Amino acid sequence: MPSTTLVHLESLSTTSTMMAKWPPGFRLQTPDFSLPLHMGNRKRSSSSSSPSHSPLLPLFLFSPFPSKPGIITFADPTVKALCVEHWDTDGDGELSQDEAARVTNLAEVFNGNTDITSFNELQYFTGLTAIGESAFNRCSSLAFVTLPSSVAYIRNSAFMNTALEKVTVPGTVKSIDWGAYAWNVSLKHIVFEEGVETVGDVQFYGCSNLEEIVLPSTLTGGLFKDFFSYGETTSSLI
C-alpha cells in the first residue's frame, strides 16, 4: 500500500486552478463528502495588494496511486517477496487476494527456505486443494501457518522440519499423507478438527517435544500404524 502524505489546502478561486495544483495521478481522499463543496473567494486586504486566503476543508490525505482493494498485508517480508516474484500478475509489486486465489500449486517456491517465519496469509490462497509434497519441508524458521479452507489434502513431508509449535488442521482437510509433520522438534500441540478422516504413517516421527494430540471422531484410517516412529503404534504411546 503506497504511503500517504498529509497536505494542507487553502481555498482557491476556481476548481480548475485547484486541479492544476494537484500532482499528476494524485487522488483526493475526503472523509464523508465530495469536493468541491464551495471554493471560497479571494479577499484583498486594504493594507496589502496580496490576496489573503480563507481556509478550505483544512486537512486531506493524498495517495499517489489509486487504492487497490484486497491487497494482502504480509507479516513476513521474505514471504511477500517470494509471492510477488511468482504470482504478482499485474506487476504492481503487491499481491492481491484475487491473485492469491488463482494460485493452484505452490510447487517448490518455499521448500528449504530457512528465512521465512510466518505465512498466515496462506489462507488467501483459496485455489489450493492440496499442500504439495515437501512444500514447506526444511523451512526451519517457519513458526506460523494458516491453511486456506479449500485445502483437502496435505501431502508427504509437507511441513517436515519446521519451527511449528502449535498446529490446527481444519476439518476441511480430509487426508494427511506420510510424515507431513515429522521431525518438528518444536511441535507441542496439534489439533485435528472434526472432519479429518486419515492421518498417514510416521506422522510425528522425530517430534520429541509433542505434548498433546487432539483427534476427531471422524478419523477412519491411517492412524494406528507407525504413527510416531517406525515400529511403534499410537496405542502403545498414548
| CA dist., res. 86 & res. 200, Å (int) | 31
Do 105 and 188 reside in the same domain of the chain? Answer: yes
The pTM score is: 0.69
Grid cell digits, residue 219: 478419523
Q: Write the DSSP assignment of 67-90 as a string of letters.
A: --TTB---S-HHHHHHHHHHH-TT
User: Which of 18, 43, 63 represents a domain boundary (last residue)?
Assistant: 63
Do 125 and 146 reside in the same domain of the chain? Answer: yes
| CA dist., res. 236 & res. 234, Å (int) | 5
| CA dist., res. 171 & res. 182, Å (int) | 20
Range of the domain at 14: 5-63
The better pLDDT of the pair 151, 59 is held by 151
Domain count for the chain: 2
Percentages helix, strand, coil for the chain (3-state, rounded to 5) are 15, 20, 65
> Tens digits of per-residue pLDDT, 7-65?
443 443 444 444 444 455 444 444 444 444 344 444 444 444 555 554 444 444 444 44
Do 46 and 25 reside in the same domain of the chain? Answer: yes
User: Which of 13, 39, 63 represents a domain boundary (last residue)?
Assistant: 63
